Structure 1
Amino acid sequence: MTPESIQTFVSYVGTLKGDEKGEAQVFCDRLFQAFGHAGYKEAGAILEDRVKRKGRGTGFADLSWRPRMLMEMKSRGEKLQRHYQQAFEYWTNMVPDRPRYVVLCNFDEFWIYDFNTQLHDPVDRISIHELVDRAQAFNFMRPIEQEPLFENNRVKVTREAADKVAHVFNEMVSRGENPKRAQKFILQCVVAMFAEDCKLLPDALFTKLLKECVEQKGNTYDLIGSLFTQMNSPSPARGGRFQGVEYFNGGLFDVIEPVELSETETKLLYDAAREKWDKVDPPIFGTLFQSSMNADKRHAMGAHFTNEADIQKVILPTIVKPWRARIEKANTLKELTSLAEKLLKVRVLDPACGSGNFLYVAYRELMNLEMEILAKIHEKFGERAKKAVGTASLVSTTQFFGIDIDEFAVELAKVTLMLGKRIALAEVEGSWFDRSGELPFEFERPLPLDNLDESIVCDDALFVDWPKADYIVGNPPFQSKNKMQEEFGLAYVNRVREAFPDISGLADFCVYWFRKSHDCLEKGQRAGLVGTNTVRQTYSRESGLDYILENDGTITDAVATQVWSGDAVVHVSIVNWIRGKSGLKESPLRTQMGDDRDSPWKIENVKVIPSSLSSDFDVSKSKKLTTNARSKVCYQGQTPGHEGFLLSNEEAETLISKDATLRDVLFPYLTGDDLLSTFPSHPQRHVIDFQQQPVNSAAKYSAAFELVKSKVLGDREKAAAKESERNSEVLESDPTARINKHHANFLNKWWQLSYARKALLSQIGGLSRYIVCSRVTKRPIFDFICSDIRPSDALQVFAVEDDYSFGIFQSTLHWRWFLSRCSTLKSDFRYTSNTVFDSFAWPQQPSLASIRAVAKAAVALRECRSSIMTDNKWDLRELYRTLELPGDNPLKKCQERLDAEVEKAFSFPANSDPLEQLFLLNLKVAKKEEAGEQVVGPGLPAIAVGENLVSGDSVRPR
């Protein structure tokens, strides 16, 4: 690539008519040549690449060059903004190897998008005549790719501006300024800095005032305070330095509390003011919110931040696509003007609005929808359009409503919409129509800003009536059921559960928003929410998505699970639904397959999206089987509750060498990592377990007892004291409230494990070995453990010792049931006894020959595992990773033989869906239990008792 080669290309383009159909392909080929390739084909690009679009058949992308670029060509003179949605839709469906950059071009201009960082606004706009000087923006097109240099990177500008302002805020608070006063002042400064760069304040006034304060020792209390006072005055200054300052509004500026900044703070604010505030991107301006919030508070409230690509996974299917379908269908002037009028009555609510990101994106998309309607009217009806539309009343920020419990978040949300309105108007004005009179309406004046005090309010959304809305969108707080009490306090948790008695106390916090959102919807209205991916599992699913589907709801679009884009370390589900029927023949269901943000995706179109958000047969309505629940087979391992109960093997051996009686209370202790990540698998620590001995009996084992006393007692006393303080606060406000005695109970028996699992030890005590799997796992790995070993709570324990039972647990049938019924931690699967084990129906009429065959295949599989691991010095995790690779694998063949024998034991019909058959068997067994009939439960069937089906292999202490 040389300047000469690019100039040759530019000159050539000048000879073209700019016809999309006839000249686009040769344009693309010459563009590749300009950047040093022999041509597009030699570079590996594809013309007219097929892209399957959800619900819209197959499209043809003009040029795809994965994973670098997607390019869409339009005829000369075409408004590129009108084709953004088509390009974005192609990009969304181009998985795997989705292109990093998307380019729209009309022969005269290139718009370059990087949807991973900046979704709506191009990172650069380059005219054909600027290409020689601006070629570095196309560095991704070079034969050896380089980092491009863009001039419209809003993300970078926004982060730098937000960080600088947050620095000022933190400085103010650290020296003792009232935080609320500082927040209000900082937000007023943000609006002023934005306003002067957007020409809403005259002649860089705010920056000049700060410069005067820095260089001439002016006082911010006087100068900035006076400016804000004038910005709040409907009466313009008749003279002086504030002449020309217009009225902003009576919301953010209704109370002016001047602040005298320190010299350092003034310099920091002056530095912030010189950023390009007209390039600030409102959807990510929440970084200011994030940076200036206390980290502990942010965690407690479940506050987190969404990038725009994820916001669009709610806004597009919930709001934009249904409206776009109506616009495409409308063809008469009456139909189109009716849609324009209806759009102005749309109301959108985010009941957990945070800094307003969802509301702003929804506002901008509604404005673009309005532009689509007006553009269609203008193109189809010409001069008649001006008479029909008149002076259009544009979509207003007052159509958008928000609720948040954090006062600063509410104020920031108002500012986000205020700033966003001006940016959105500018984008619309410059992208959809020419400024030269093509507009069939007049844009409203940017000032005064809308007063949003009545629309966006500070309150607890769970205990306040919500404004009526056509669409409910947002990102409710993430907080697991296990940490709600710790983070929110017992009194608040009790209040929530009393207000929502139909929601399980084991459901995650976000489920309350799903439930209340659906209850607020009327027929035909829609909602789209982000939740932890537990919303599709167990109690959260039953209280949320099951409720929605059972009460006239239809899921229209969903992400089953994906890596979260914000700072909360979770995987999320995104669910969009309508109250009533959707009318869709197919609905898109997306699943990210991995733990990294760039992990690949599986995209499916399904007839119905169930509450499990899975295309597999829905087994969510399986019954709990009494036989399984009472079988005394499935247990969770021991929970010490404190590291002080654990010793290294060397420490334990040293103690036992001095006092052999310590063998009564010191035991090898196996964790999930010990099982999967050591070769050979073995316990790496011992546990001190006095079981239920009273303190005087435990004290006889003095060496172990003193260790526990020195390491555990003090911490348990502190935890109990903190709990007592919290309980006292709860009882002060409500003497009848239930209080928590969790840590008090642990203190009363401080020398004992938190959960010693007496019933578990009783069951495995009479066995030579027992089966375990890691409770949180990616792979189906079960193994036998010697009964001398104590299992940790990271292990799911099955108190059976026979090879037949092992074969059933290790089978793919059981694994698929496990995947369909379990909960998850990130993308790993969690074995849950009450949902997985208690509902898994075992073979009801296996023959003795079949039982023997399953046991034999199970032994052969473990022997194969042991042989490979010994030869390669692999642990179990390393071994099972090889199953994910293509090619022959002896372990894979052993698994297939085991699966074949297990399927024979179940006697399912050939070519049937295994999940469906397991579900039907579950219902059949449950029905027999209800009728009092005998059924076959977990473990070795009665007909096989006496058979020699217990081999000798197991994980043992080293």
Structure 2
Amino acid sequence: MNAVEIEQAVSDLAEQPFDAEEFPFAFLEAFGNKATTLKRLRSGASNKSDLGGLLQTNNIHIRTCAPGAVTETLTALRDSPATARAKAKYILATDGQTLEAEDLTSGDTIACDYTDFPNHFGFFLTLAGISTVRAIKENAFDIRATSRLNRLYVELLKDNPDWGAAERRPDMNHFMARLIFCFFAEDTDIFNGTGLFTATIDQMSDRTNTHEVIGEMFRAMNIRPADRAGASLPRWADVFPYVNGGLFSGSLDVPRFSRIARSYLLHIGNLDWTQINPDIFGSMIQAVADDEERGALGMHYTSVPNILKVLNPLFLDDLRAALEAAGDNARKLLNLRNRIARIRVFDPACGSGNFLVIAYKQLREIEAEINKRRGEADRKTEIPLTNFRGIEIRHFSAEIARLALIIAEYQCDVTYRGQKEALAAFLPLDAQNWITCENALRLDWLSVCPPTGMEVRHRTDDLFAPPLDQAQIDFENEGGETYICGNPPYLGNKLQSDEQKDDLRTVFDGRVKGWKSLDYVAAWLMKAADYGTRTKAVSAFVTTNSLCQGQQVPILWPAIFETGHEIEFAYTSFKWANLASYNAGVIVIVVGISNTGASRKRLYTLDTDGAVLEKVCSNINPYLVDGPNLVVESRREPPRDSAPMLFGNMPRDGGHLIVSREQMVAEGQTDPIFRYYLRPFFGSEDFIQGKTRYCLWIEKNQYEDALKSPLIARRLEAVRQMRLESKAGSTRDFAKVPHRFVQIQGTAGQSTLIVPRVSSERRPYLPVGLLDRSAVVADSAFALYDAPLWNMAVIASRLHLVWIAAVCGKLKTDYRYSNTLGWNTFPSPILTEKNKADLNESASQILIAREHYYPATLGNMYDPDHFYTDYAVLREAHDRNDEIMERIYIGRRFKNDTERLEKLFALYGQEQKRGLVVASAPSGARRRG
């Protein structure tokens, strides 16, 4: 269940007559417990309560009680030995009139009327496996509002199917935006009376004419007071103020309401809309109008701390430093206020406006502090909403972004100037509109946010009102600063639609080779760099970390550097996680670029506790390392003195040349010829997880003898048929030799080092290993045939792991090893024979340590939850290996991974200067077939 579904279930429970016996089970059901779980609890099989309540292990202890005994019951639950034994996270007591609960982990508590406890449902979300952030607990209203608006939206589309058609969907979305505004306005006295909009619908309509009543209210909000005399407005509609600003212009058509839809509407209106948080609400409500996103409704929350990872280093930190430096100096404060009033924030992928709203609220907070220090606390803001500009491709999201900014402005006015002043300045809405509904990658950004003085007109999709002449507005912003920010769509190259590929072509074709391999988000960085060549701006985006790893680096970053831009600040990889535990969170970075030539570059990392560490750098390279702007490109030859690393062998056999352990045992007993031609077969997963498979490996001169086995003959015939039926000509060609693999990269004379191509990012080391001469390596892994053992020591080092993480990229969150990008480019000093001997010994000790823990698999041993606690001998072997490696590089241990990467890139740069990084023919390997 997602948060919205949980909120609905909790609300339904609170509206039902209280049943003391049934409540605990209904409560758990509302948070997603399955029927089988509840059955076991009802029977007492898993109910551990010692107080006659319901106690679910590792979850919650609930007890209902007599009226007035809630507090003492909660105390009894807290003191219960069973609560401690069962490691309950929560305790809850209720008598059907009041409800009290406590989070035993954090110590947080709630106490409320029973009917009001749905407003606190976010307090309990971890019961459903949803890891919450504090903001959602404190703003459960936004989830509740989203839930109800979603039900209304779905019901209206069911009753008005024509409104769901593509040509009418913008009308439907605009109607929902109008409703949201009315709900907010009626609860904040903007409509000169609390609940006026909802009360009017309740009193003046039934299910047959609800649309007419709403239409008349909307019409009133579109008529200026001076024009109302001849407008024939009903008396009950005439009380609504003139709003307009484009929100109520154009068609005032309203969909028809069924009895159920009208009921939903009244329920929504009865919520307390003063609690709306535009930081959160906009992100969630946009999912209401998006069929693809509705399945994750309520999960579209981007936390303020994450947004501030972009906005703080982009410009807010600088403003706060200027505020601190100004102290109480009136002149300096005035200059800072004037500067803030001319700052433009531009989000070219603004969605529902999160970044713009947060930026606006942060600037208002700084401005308010300036006014306070200058003794002008009641002063009207000088920060115009027109300085917060966005481009958004989805119509409804663009409308919500505009509405979220309007609400944020009103709330800031209330906070910093008072309710009376806020109301006086609010209506009518400003007709200026700077949220553009278009494709940002097809639009010239200068038409939305031009250099001051440029005479261009802003293009729009007529969201709220026709725009004013932009040059007039920009003249007022003469000398201002422009900051570009946002969280554009990521989309790897295989997930892009044909239209999105065309978007990338528009940005990159003719200037960047290999652009088809780029993530979609790369186009925003390129457009920002191009924008920066035409007007002064600093840009920062949340992007996939793959843009600063692997093969995308040499494709994208040279083009950005050619525009004169540098990386001014960056956050290294972290999880951009939202609400749900099932929303695992994508691994992202924050990259800020400019062409200002700033000498002080800032690199931020998050430690294991989430604390932000800042490093001042002279330069940040495209791998987000303090160092020169190097680009690591593929090499065809291995490092000096090292063995070549080759792809494993590809059978392309339909599975008929591969034999499971069970098949080997069962069939090999009856067919010794079959067993004779089997060899151990290892891919990445086999090797890491300790799985054993075999393959038929038949040399050309053994073919006739192998066919004497009926089992082999049947399998080879199946391979032949499979290959003949293939669409690929190269596969069909191998039908004539069904006994052999299609691609044989090599086999060993003595031994093979195997390197998995994909490995979990959680492991502290890459799980390289040693196989005997009989083993065949599959194409899901790399192989080094008859390599010196010290090669394994290098690959198994922390130094090598951080290089692979930086330059090879990742598959989802796993390391994606590349022989040409990772092994062949790995920078190394010249190794002496003593160095090699020491590394041979340390590699041997790692292998011996692994044998010590047999039959544990490498997956078990290198699991970070156990590696440091359960496998001390292996940990010590790796530590010794790292000690030897790192002393070879700098004569001591490195302090951290950052220092490791800096050294490696410095060595790589030296190799480039010496001309050692040159592609050449690959070294040979023993080929057999």
Interval of TM-score (by shorter of Structure 1 and Structure 2): 0.5 to 0.7
The Cα offsets for residues 659-685 of structure 1, whole Å up to 9 and x where unpaired, read as 8887899876534343233xxx23358
Alignment partners' CA distance in 2, 1:442 and 1:196: 15
CA distance 1:923–1:410, change in 2 (3 Å): closer
Q: Does 1:363 align with 2:360?
A: yes
Alignment partners' CA distance in 2, 1:245 and 1:281: 24
* Offset of residue 840 of structure 1: 1.4
Q: Does 1:233 align with 2:218?
A: no
The Cα offsets for residues 620-672 of structure 1, whole Å up to 9 and x where unpaired, read as 54565453299983244567899977775435766777888878998765343
Determine the structure 2 residue equivalent to 1:223.
Answer: 213
Give the alignment partner of residue 859 of structure 1, picking from 844, 860, 883. Answer: 844
TM-score, normalising length: structure 2 = 0.68
Determine the structure 2 residue equivalent to 1:316.
Answer: 312
Alignment partners' CA distance in 1, 2:387 and 2:632: 44
CA distance 1:618–1:782, change in 2 (3 Å): farther
Aligned residues of 1:806 and 1:858 also touching (Cα < 8 A): yes
CA distance 1:231–1:786, change in 2 (3 Å): farther
The Cα offsets for residues 812-838 of structure 1, whole Å up to 9 and x where unpaired, read as 443343344332356543323332112
Within a 5 Å distance, the mapping from 1:727-766 to structure 2 comes to: 761-764=744-747
Determine the structure 2 residue equivalent to 1:769.
Answer: 752
Within a 5 Å distance, the mapping from 1:901-920 to structure 2 comes to: 902=885, 918-919=904-905
Alignment partners' CA distance in 1, 2:518 and 2:245: 42
Alignment partners' CA distance in 2, 1:709 and 1:172: 56
Aligned residues of 1:619 and 1:919 also touching (Cα < 8 A): no
Per mean C-alpha deviation after superposition, the further-off stretch among 260-269 and 204-213 is: 204-213
Q: Does 1:408 align with 2:405?
A: no
Aligned residues of 1:669 and 1:687 also touching (Cα < 8 A): no
Aligned residues of 2:623 and 2:807 also touching (Cα < 8 A): no
Aligned residues between the structures: 733
- What secondary structure is seen at the aligned counterpart in 1 of 2:313? helix
User: Unaligned 5+ residue runs, structure 1?
Assistant: 1-134, 380-384, 436-440, 594-598, 692-696, 717-742, 946-958
* Offset of residue 864 of structure 1: 2.0
Give the alignment partner of residue 198 of structure 2, picking from 184, 207, 211. Answer: 207
Alignment partners' CA distance in 2, 1:305 and 1:144: 23
The Cα offsets for residues 920-945 of structure 1, whole Å up to 9 and x where unpaired, read as 5545555666699999x9999xxxx9
Alignment partners' CA distance in 1, 2:325 and 2:792: 59
Alignment partners' CA distance in 2, 1:933 and 1:397: 54
Within a 5 Å distance, the mapping from 1:223-372 to structure 2 comes to: 223-235=213-225, 237=228, 240-254=235-249, 255-285=251-281, 286-295=283-292, 305-330=301-326, 333-372=330-369
Aligned residues of 1:662 and 1:704 also touching (Cα < 8 A): no
Query: AA paired with 2:178?
Result: Q
Query: AA paired with 1:253?
Result: F
The Cα offsets for residues 8-58 of structure 1, whole Å up to 9 and x where unpaired, read as xxxxxxxxxxxxxxxxxxxxxxxxxxxxxxxxxxxxxxxxxxxxxxxxxxx
Aligned residues of 1:554 and 1:581 also touching (Cα < 8 A): yes
- What secondary structure is seen at the aligned counterpart in 2 of 1:529? strand
Q: Does 1:158 align with 2:168?
A: no
CA distance 1:651–1:247, change in 2 (3 Å): farther
Determine the structure 1 residue equivalent to 2:57.
Answer: none
Alignment partners' CA distance in 2, 1:332 and 1:443: 32
User: Unaligned 5+ residue runs, structure 2?
Assistant: 1-97, 113-118, 121-136, 451-481, 701-706
Alignment partners' CA distance in 2, 1:313 and 1:881: 28
The Cα offsets for residues 114-163 of structure 1, whole Å up to 9 and x where unpaired, read as xxxxxxxxxxxxxxxxxxxxx999978x9992434599966200111012
- What secondary structure is seen at the aligned counterpart in 1 of 2:139? helix
Query: AA paired with 2:239?
Result: G
Aligned residues of 1:237 and 1:245 also touching (Cα < 8 A): no
- What secondary structure is seen at the aligned counterpart in 2 of 1:514? helix
Give the alignment partner of residue 563 of structure 1, picking from 575, 581, 596. Answer: 575
Determine the structure 2 residue equivalent to 1:145.
Answer: 107
Determine the structure 2 residue equivalent to 1:579.
Answer: 595
TM-score, normalising length: structure 1 = 0.66
Aligned residues of 1:649 and 1:686 also touching (Cα < 8 A): no
CA distance 1:271–1:394, change in 2 (3 Å): same
Within a 5 Å distance, the mapping from 1:816-835 to structure 2 comes to: 816-825=802-811, 828-835=814-821
CA distance 1:763–1:275, change in 2 (3 Å): same
Alignment partners' CA distance in 1, 2:219 and 2:736: 66
Determine the structure 2 residue equivalent to 1:683.
Answer: 692
Determine the structure 1 residue equivalent to 2:489.
Answer: 477
* Offset of residue 576 of structure 1: 3.3
Aligned residues of 2:518 and 2:552 also touching (Cα < 8 A): yes
Query: AA paired with 2:440?
Result: A
- What secondary structure is seen at the aligned counterpart in 2 of 1:764? coil
Alignment partners' CA distance in 2, 1:306 and 1:748: 51
Q: Does 1:427 align with 2:415?
A: yes
The Cα offsets for residues 316-370 of structure 1, whole Å up to 9 and x where unpaired, read as 2323222233334446545443443443332221000111111111122222232
Aligned residues of 1:139 and 1:149 also touching (Cα < 8 A): no
Aligned residues of 2:187 and 2:273 also touching (Cα < 8 A): yes
Q: Does 1:189 align with 2:179?
A: yes
Aligned residues of 2:333 and 2:374 also touching (Cα < 8 A): yes
Alignment partners' CA distance in 2, 1:398 and 1:293: 27
- What secondary structure is seen at the aligned counterpart in 1 of 2:414? helix
Aligned residues of 1:562 and 1:591 also touching (Cα < 8 A): yes
Determine the structure 2 residue equivalent to 1:468.
Answer: 449
Determine the structure 2 residue equivalent to 1:93.
Answer: none
Alignment partners' CA distance in 1, 2:699 and 2:148: 57
Aligned residues of 1:869 and 1:876 also touching (Cα < 8 A): no
- What secondary structure is seen at the aligned counterpart in 2 of 1:763? coil
The Cα offsets for residues 549-590 of structure 1, whole Å up to 9 and x where unpaired, read as 665545454321211123574111123344314465x73512
Identical amino acids, percent of aligned pairs: 21
- What secondary structure is seen at the aligned counterpart in 1 of 2:820? coil
* Offset of residue 445 of structure 1: 1.6
Aligned residues of 2:623 and 2:806 also touching (Cα < 8 A): no
Per mean C-alpha deviation after superposition, the further-off stretch among 920-929 and 570-579 is: 920-929
Alignment partners' CA distance in 2, 1:172 and 1:921: 65
Aligned residues of 1:861 and 1:891 also touching (Cα < 8 A): yes
Determine the structure 1 residue equivalent to 2:54.
Answer: none
* Offset of residue 461 of structure 1: 1.0
CA distance 1:535–1:170, change in 2 (3 Å): same
Alignment partners' CA distance in 2, 1:172 and 1:688: 65
* Offset of residue 474 of structure 1: 0.6
Alignment partners' CA distance in 2, 1:713 and 1:171: 55
Alignment partners' CA distance in 1, 2:285 and 2:720: 46
- What secondary structure is seen at the aligned counterpart in 2 of 1:531? strand
- What secondary structure is seen at the aligned counterpart in 2 of 1:378? coil
Query: AA paired with 2:224?
Result: P
* Offset of residue 480 of structure 1: 1.5
Q: What value does the CA root-mean-square deviation take over the aligned residues? A: 4.8
CA distance 1:665–1:207, change in 2 (3 Å): farther
Alignment partners' CA distance in 1, 2:158 and 2:577: 30
Alignment partners' CA distance in 2, 1:688 and 1:276: 73
Determine the structure 1 residue equivalent to 2:38.
Answer: none
Alignment partners' CA distance in 2, 1:147 and 1:744: 65
CA distance 1:232–1:669, change in 2 (3 Å): farther
- What secondary structure is seen at the aligned counterpart in 1 of 2:346? strand
Determine the structure 2 residue equivalent to 1:131.
Answer: none
Alignment partners' CA distance in 1, 2:176 and 2:736: 53
Aligned residues of 2:754 and 2:783 also touching (Cα < 8 A): yes
Query: AA paired with 1:889?
Result: A
Aligned residues of 2:685 and 2:691 also touching (Cα < 8 A): no
